[in-house]
Chains A and B, each alone.
Chain A
Amino acid sequence: MLDVAQGLNAYPAVVDWLNGFMPNWLAEGLYRVGAGLLILTLIATLALVLIYMLRKVLGHMHCRLGPRVTGPFGLLQTAADALKLMQKEDIIPANVDRFLYILAPYLTFFSCGMIFMVLPLSPTWILNDLEVGVLFFVAFGSLASFGLLMGGFGSNNKYSLVGGMRSVAQVVSYEVPMVLALLGAVMLAGSLSTQQIVVAQEGLWLGFIPKWFIFLQPLGFVIYFLCGLAETGQTPFDLPEGESEIVAGYNTEYSGMRFALFMLAEFANAFAISAMATTLFLGGWHGPVFSFLPWLWPFVWFMVKAMALTFCMMWVRGTWLRFRIDQMMDFAWKILVPLSLLNIFISAGEVAVIRWIGG
């Protein structure tokens, strides 16, 4: 196991190493380009896996088989679809606001890509361990809704506009309980850095219960998870693209690669929310490490936990149905916000108790 206190951040280590044989500006630039490419690759791979998983899970939940024909067990189905979307004609409808219409998918994709920068995939695998990692995550998480609003407004389609407005209303409302729920974990860890929060969850209580924050913050976890569903527009909060009401919401007019970007962003966002929940509540990359490839195990545990949460999202998606807009707002402001405030009081009490025991 690495020295946790020293080797938490890839950024200074890699840049230092690069500085050995190139000027500083080149090293910094190279690191940033490399990080961007890495995130792109990661998101693309994850989306391939997640879309296949979603199709299989939903298929079996629907008494169906899901993809089976393309490749072994239909594994190549998503790749084939991606290929199809890429070679489609790039359609820009006649009366759209071209600037907003073209920019929207990139902005959405960019904002969810940025979240991956602060995800601690393992003790050393974090692109940049910011001091304000959690804040960074929240900021870029809500930036995605700008993209959706731009897409909805720029499409010059009433369905899109309604979808865009819904998505903004939803993200703005659910941001509040989400941040309040995150605060609990932040208070317990005493840091906004994602890596530090994971480190704070190390160890066992009574020798067998892992010191994960979910055991201290069950309410906070549930609130965060529900808000995460809302933030990413998953069922039961899929109002922005509620297909039976407003056709496809903000991406009604999108097709081809732009649509694919929206879709990628959606899946990447779902994974990012799960990964953040893993980081904050499920002990991040903590887990038993075996002697075989010891550097890989934390990453495996992290992925397993995040994937399990993503599966829960799919499970909910396969079962529940959609709120109405006013019910969705009521749920946020009348139920989740008071509960998350309560959660802050609970966390404060817990912090006090822990200090009292420890001190």
Chain B
Amino acid sequence: MAHGIGALRGLGVTMGVMLTKPITVEYPFKKLKFAPVYRGGFCFYPDRCIACQLCQNACPNRVITVERERGADKKMYLTGYKMDLQYCLYCGLCVEACNKDALVMTDQIKLATYDRKVLNVEVPRQLIPAPPPATAEKPAAASKSPPGGAKDAGKSEVSQ
């Protein structure tokens, strides 16, 4: 305790901070905005997916399983899309690998669950566009839907 001036100056700092506006917000009532590239929960657009399996190969932990079948026109078609999110690092490498914006990350942050089985998610069968019949002439139409066009109709968001 040399002279105590420094300790008194500290009191000044806390009083000053007390009189200024707090920086925190009341979380559930007010929410801060996330950056557009925020890595939160996933959102998958089955209609954009071309079943290239790039995301599956990019994933360090083999979270993603892309099931596909060769259609009559020799192209690959998606038949199932599974994610086992309990192993997910949320590193975003899969989203980066996707060329068609079929797999994106949202700003959803409430990802905690009570049961790890819930984290084993699968895109419902009925949301995956069926491969065109053998006689179809233009098979690749599904992948060209505009971004966000089928957002509400075709998306399968990972949520609880």
Direct contact of A and B (CB under 8 A): yes
Over the window 142-164 of chain A, the binary record of Cβ atoms lying under 8 Å from chain B Cβ atoms (1 yes, 0 no) is 00000000000000000000000
**What 1/0 mask marks residues of chain B from 11 to 40 whose CB sits below 8 Å from any chain A CB?**
101110111101110100000000000000
- Does chain A have a CB within 8 A of B10? yes
Across the interface, which residues of A come within 8 angstroms of B24, CB to CB? Answer: 63-65
Interface residues of chain A: helix, strand, loop or mixed (majority): helix
A sample of 13 cross-chain residue pairs with beta-carbon separation below 8 angstroms, ordered by A number, consists of A60-B22, A61-B15, A62-B17, A63-B17, A63-B23, A64-B22, A65-B24, A69-B26, A315-B11, A315-B15, A319-B7, A319-B11, A320-B7
B112, CB-defined interface residue at 8 Å: no
Decide if B26 touches A318 in the complex (CB within 8 Å): no
Residues of B within 8 A of A60 (CB): 17-19, 22
Among A68, A318, A335: residue with most chain B CB under 10 A: A318
CA distance A320 to B12 in the complex (A): 11
A331 within 8 A of B: yes
B153 close to chain A: CB less than 8 A: no
- In chain A, positions 162-200 with a C-beta closer than 8 Å to chain B are none
Q: How far is the CB of A225 from chain B (nearest CB, A)?
A: 13
B54 to chain A, nearest CB (A): 44
| List of B residues within 8 angstroms of A65 by Cβ | 22, 24, 26
* Given A320-B7, A331-B1, A335-B1, A59-B14 contact (CB < 8 Å): no
Question: Which residues on B sit within 8 Å (CB–CB) of A57?
Answer: 18
Are A61 and B11 also in contact (CB < 8 A) when A68-B26, A331-B1, A335-B1 are? no
* Chain B CB within 8 A of A103 CB: no
> Nearest residue in A to B24 (C-beta to C-beta)?
A64
Distance in Å from the Cβ of B125 to the closest Cβ of chain A?
A: 43
Mark B50-86 against chain A: 1 for CB-CB distance below 8 A, else 0.
0000000000000000000000000000000000000
Within 8 A of B (CB), among A56-104: 57, 59-65, 68-69
Q: Which residues of B contact A68 (CB under 8 A)?
A: 26
Is A352 among interface residues, defined by CB-CB distance under 8 A?
no
**Distance in angstroms between the alpha carbons of A64 and B23 in the assembled complex:** 6
Contact call B14/A61, Cβ cutoff below 8 A: yes
Q: Which of B17, B23, B26 contacts A61 (CB 8 A)?
A: B17
User: What residues of chain B lie closer than 8 Å to A319, measured between beta carbons?
Assistant: 7, 10-11, 13-14
Residues of the A chain whose Cβ atoms lie less than 8 Å from the Cβ of B15: 61, 315
